[in-house]
């Protein structure tokens, strides 16, 4: 998707008939359905393992494709930690040590806050759209929607970590498209993780999954869950909101 996905999710003025779109356009529609031209969301992220569970309360703002501001409200030891995407640059502010870090491109696929989502997922980058070629593998009819399974293979020299992505989207009769599942594979063809999106609700005039679960294949019993409690779209968020100086306030 990239997933969140916060976490990491162009507004659709009206539902568009997916059958009239290319496969890449359908992937783009699903990828940005949770973001809109601008958005704000409150969510709970829970990392679950066999021996411990950790929960964070997070607030996220997005503007267009290239601006994101992620703020952790809880737990207390992480309160005030922020992640900023502005254009091609990503920054993290850690108030406990009063340290501002510029995240290098090589860390885009590193874990965000110890979760199974990475920086690219959290800031909702469009890598799945721009860095991959897409092929429709199959369509399956269901009681409420069709499900399309789309294979995404990286373009030559694309700066990506996945050797293949299987992206499943739900296509509704009224034209709305939502992400359903993302399966990320290594260059050797090994399934590394699966992101499942569910609990689809009508929010602000659009159809939105409000629960995400990311499960790494190599660590059975581990997963990261994201539950959205509040989402608002098409907000008037000025560009100045997404500034490096704001991180330390």
Phi, psi (degrees; rounded to nearest 5) at 173: -60, -30
Determine whether 217 is exposed, middle or buried from the number of CB atoms within 10 Å of its CB (0-12, 13-18, 19+): middle
Query: Which residues fall within 8 angstroms of residue 219, CB to CB, at 6 or more apart?
Result: 49
Q: What is the pLDDT of residue 27?
A: 94
Rounded to two decimals, the pTM is 0.88
In three-state secondary structure terms, 151 is strand
- Domains of the chain listed by start with CATH number: 18-248 (2.50.20.10)
Mean of pLDDT values over 192-220: 94
pLDDT in tens, 31-46: 888 777 899 999 999 9
Q: What is the pLDDT of residue 3?
A: 46
pLDDT of 148 strictly over 90 = yes
CA distance 52 to 60: 25
CA distance 113 to 169: 27
Query: What is the rounded average pLDDT for all residues in the chain?
Result: 89
Give me 228's structure tokens.
């959205």
pLDDT in tens, 101-130: 999 888 888 899 999 999 888 876 678 999
């Amino acid at each position: 998707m990239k997933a969140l996905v916060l976490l990491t999710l162009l507004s659709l003025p009206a539902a568009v008939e997916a059958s009239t779109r290319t496969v890449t356009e359908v992937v783009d529609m699903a990828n940005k359905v949770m973001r809109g031209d601008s958005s704000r969301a409150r969510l709970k992220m829970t990392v679950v393992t066999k021996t411990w569970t950790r929960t964070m309360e997070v607030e996220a703002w997005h503007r267009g494709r290239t601006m994101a501001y992620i703020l952790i409200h809880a737990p207390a030891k992480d309160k005030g930690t922020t992640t900023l995407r502005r254009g091609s640059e990503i920054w993290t502010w850690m108030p406990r040590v009063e340290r501002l870090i510029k995240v290098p491109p090589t860390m885009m696929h590193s874990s965000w806050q110890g979760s199974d989502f990475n920086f690219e997922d959290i800031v909702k980058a469009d890598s799945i759209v721009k860095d991959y070629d897409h092929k429709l593998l199959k369509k399956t009819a269901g009681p409420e929607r069709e499900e399309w399974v789309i294979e995404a293979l990286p373009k030559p020299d694309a700066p990506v970590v996945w050797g293949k992505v299987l992206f499943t989207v739900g296509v509704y009769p009224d034209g709305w498209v939502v992400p359903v599942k993302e399966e990320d594979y290594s260059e050797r063809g090994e399934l590394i993780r699966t992101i499942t999106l569910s609990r689809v609700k009508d929010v602000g005039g659009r159809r939105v999954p409000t629960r995400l679960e990311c499960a790494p294949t190599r660590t059975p019993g581990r997963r990261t869950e994201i539950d959205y409690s509040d989402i608002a779209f098409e907000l008037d968020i000025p560009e100045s909101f997404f500034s490096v100086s704001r991180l330390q306030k």
